[in-house]
Amino acid sequence: MFDREIDAKVKAWIEENRQEIIDLWLELARIPSVVSEPEEGAPYGKDAKRALDYCADMFAKYGFPTRIGEDTYALSTYGEGSRSIGLFGHADVVPGGDGWIHTAPFEPVIIEDTMIGRGVSDDKSGIMLALGVLRMFKELSLPLKSKLISVVGSAEEVGSPDMAAFVKNEPLPDFSVTPDAGFPCAVGEKGIYRFYVSPEKPFECIKSFFGGDAINVVVDKTVIELDKLDGLVSELQIKLKNRTDITLTESTDSVTLTARGISAHVSAPQNGVNSNKLIAELLKGVHALSDSDREGFAAMDKLLSDHTGEIFGINFSDPTFGALTIGNGTGKMAGGNIELGFNVRYGVGETGEWLEKQTEKAFASFGWPVVRSDNRPAFVLDGSCTLPLDLAALYNEMTGKNSKPYTMGGKTYATPLNLAGDCTQAIGIGTCIGTPASDGKAGLEMPKGHGGAHAPDEKIWIPGFFDAMRLLVQYVLTIDEYLNR
């Protein structure tokens, strides 16, 4: 049951500390913590490590015992109980990308109670939630029998290798929450199969190609430079007449095309427009190119045309997660050839091994064999755990909704924690409750393709964030009671 007396104390604390939290949050969001090449003492790059150090210093500043493990995760604690509750967030972010309207990616701003900047939601908001909750339990002396453990990671967006170090070195919490999903709570996450393909026949006309640098984001900008073949410019000018999604520039010996799509999380590729596909769709019909290159672009267009996996023979659905999805997130030149990266989100109806074999067979049949891959299976929380229903009841009591625990296509730290062994369980939750304001708006409205976690103008509604903080206190109280029965 929602504890109104404690919530009154929490609301008063938030009102008093609101601006301080926002200021710390903005400073963290200014760190361009995209995973990059490893350096000494920074296995995921200097900026990812800088954000990790900032978080460790932030928790330590408020008196929480804090340490950094293997330069990959920061661990802070409060309480002395024999049972433990983990709060997991990540300080790394996807690349900033292009097409921002309201600010530059790492220059966060606040407009209409909405914070905008890369990572302000995914997942630096989760870190700030954890800090606020630990501070409130300590400063308000809220009742707690368990130990609270805050863990900040630094490589979630590239497959969570940081959690391998955590699992190896640390006792796993008895129950963990990852504020990196939605409300009321996510009790299962699809598997992710990531693979990269290149054409058997290299393209003849391509001088350079770049279309996407984050495999979990639908590509929204592609730049391709082509040899300036006879008749190419005039043919392209005719095909691009009245089009605004692809622009052409030319130099003495080359032609450059820039395509603009619409960004989306790759777990829902149907919500975006892939700019790599726009390029392939255009060039497959350009007669100034060689027959071989037209065939290559036709195959590329086909590979990028199906979000369901039907043409590859992998279009299955299961009752827990629903339909599989496949999306393209990266494209670049590698060894003088195009390399495309794909991201498959799949459920529990088929094995990852079967999926890999079928995908390799299908892509090879198109003349684009798989050159490398990795795979992380799906998980579903053990149905004997009743906590998700209790947490959903709290959410519904607070919001007046009738929501239920759900499964999702995204991945959080809940997956590696649940797959680490039977001794722990983990769920995903949100970092913002989108309760509409009196005018029906929950923060600054954005055009399609903007505002999402991996999109330009990534945003979060600040009042909803603080409502999520209030709710997380109630979640922790309920988990604590559950663990200590």
Question: Could you read off the pLDDT of 279-319 as tens digits, one per residue?
Answer: 999 999 999 999 999 999 999 999 999 999 999 999 989 88
CA 326, distance to chain mean position in Å, is: 15
Question: Could you read off the pLDDT of 149-195 as tens digits, one per residue?
Answer: 999 999 999 989 999 999 999 999 999 999 999 999 999 999 999 99
Taking Cα atoms as reference points, which of 82, 125, 104 lies closest to residue 32? 104
Considering the domain architecture, whether residues 199 and 154 belong to the same structural domain is answered as no
Residues in the chain, how many? 485
Domain count, the chain: 2
Considering the domain architecture, whether residues 86 and 180 belong to the same structural domain is answered as yes
pLDDT higher than 70, residue 139 = yes
Question: Could you read off the pLDDT of 63-83 as tens digits, one per residue?
Answer: 999 999 999 999 999 999 999
The b/e string for 84-110 (b: 16+ C-beta within 10 A; e otherwise) is bbbbbbbbbbbbbbeebebbebbebeb
Least confident residue range of 140-144, 279-283, 332-336, 339-343: 332-336
Band the pLDDT of 383: cuts 50, 70, 90. Answer: confident
CATH of the domain at 209: 3.30.70.360
Predicted local confidence at residue 419, as pLDDT: 86
Considering the domain architecture, whether residues 130 and 229 belong to the same structural domain is answered as no
Predicted local confidence at residue 384, as pLDDT: 85
Asked which of 320, 353, 376 is the last residue of a domain, the reply is: 376
Residue at token pair 């950094």 = 68
Band the pLDDT of 422: cuts 50, 70, 90. Answer: low
The b/e string for 290-307 (b: 16+ C-beta within 10 A; e otherwise) is eeebbebbbbbbbbbeeb
Predicted local confidence at residue 437, as pLDDT: 65
Predicted local confidence at residue 467, as pLDDT: 97
Band the pLDDT of 420: cuts 50, 70, 90. Answer: confident
pLDDT higher than 80, residue 400 = yes
Considering the domain architecture, whether residues 62 and 164 belong to the same structural domain is answered as yes
Considering the domain architecture, whether residues 225 and 184 belong to the same structural domain is answered as no
Predicted local confidence at residue 350, as pLDDT: 64
Considering the domain architecture, whether residues 171 and 227 belong to the same structural domain is answered as no
DSSP string, 153-191: ES-GGGT-HHHHHHHHHSPPPSEEEEESS-SS-EEEE-E
Q: Which domain holds residue 49?
A: 4-189+379-483
d(CA 79, CA 63): 12
CATH of the domain at 143: 3.40.630.10
Radius of gyration of the CA atoms of the chain, in A: 24
DSSP, res 284 = T
Considering the domain architecture, whether residues 331 and 421 belong to the same structural domain is answered as no
d(CA 87, CA 152): 8
Considering the domain architecture, whether residues 158 and 300 belong to the same structural domain is answered as no
What lies within 8 Å, CB to CB, of 255 at 6+ separation is 225, 226, 227, 228, 232, 233, 236, 248, 249
Structure tokens at 320: 């827990």
Considering the domain architecture, whether residues 394 and 430 belong to the same structural domain is answered as yes
Considering the domain architecture, whether residues 417 and 320 belong to the same structural domain is answered as no
d(CA 29, CA 18): 17
pLDDT higher than 70, residue 423 = no
Mean pLDDT for all residues in the chain:
95
Backbone angles phi, psi at 417, to 5 degrees: -70, -45
Least confident residue range of 102-116, 342-356, 459-473: 342-356
